[in-house]
Amino acid sequence: MEADFWHQRWQTSRIGFHRQQVNRQLNEYWPQLAVPAKSKVLVPLCGKSNDMHWLAEQGHEVVGFELSSLAVQDFFSTALLPAKQETIGPYQCWQAQKISLYQGDFFQAHQLNLRFNAAYDRAALIALPHSMRVQYVELLASLLNPGAVLLLVTVDYAPDQQQGPPFSVPEHAVKSLFEPYFTIEARNKMSEGPDNPKVASGELSYFDELCFVLVRKA
């Protein structure tokens, strides 16, 4: 999507993708990955997700990338965390305690020479249209060291029933995108059913949340 699309969504508070609760898949499956406590964890297209607080509470150094300055400001102000700011490369970096958020275009992240042994994606891949996904996966793979683990959460629904984000990224699409760089293990599928407003209203016939564990190949 164009940057203006996401800036407008934040400016008009059309952020239905934001969740107050920590993602259930993260809470259940991250501990099984045995990521060392002090590892740096990459969270691309992070918004103001409370999942980052949860990851920091596990002892990790969280490094998020977010396009919207409003999202970054809200993340720290809501948590009452005074953040230091500095310009690093093409980014404005906000840092408080164990969390660093780089405000700017994630697709310039290669300029920072950062490397990670773990990553978490709940809302990045599903925010991108098909035309941007290969570039996203290539960049993600370049930022992760061999053996690094990625917990990936996507959604699956009949794609002809919804044209905008979150986009449907079913298991076969995950395998097609990631297999050149990662081993892939499907962990769970959670069917929301009528608990999802669009399923309840009949706009979508089903809506599933999928969870995968990926390991960066050597």
Residue stretches of the annotated binding site for S-adenosyl-L-methionine: 10, 45, 66, 122
- State both tokens at 117: 């042994």
- The answer to whether residues 43 and 106 touch, using CB atoms and an 8 Å cutoff, is no
Tell me which residue of 17, 4, 1 sits closest to 198, measured CA to CA: 17
Binding site as annotated, residues: 10, 45, 66, 122
Strand order in the sheet with 91-96: 84-88, 91-96, 99-103, 61-66, 40-43, 116-121, 144-156, 208-216, 182-191
First to last CA, the chain: 31
Tokens 């794609």 sit on residue:
159
The total number of residues shown for the chain amounts to: 218
Task: Put residue 18 in one of left, alpha, beta given phi > 0 → left and psi -120 to 50 → alpha.
Answer: beta
- Can you tell me the distance from the alpha carbon of 116 to that of 138, in angstroms, rounded to the nearest whole number? 14
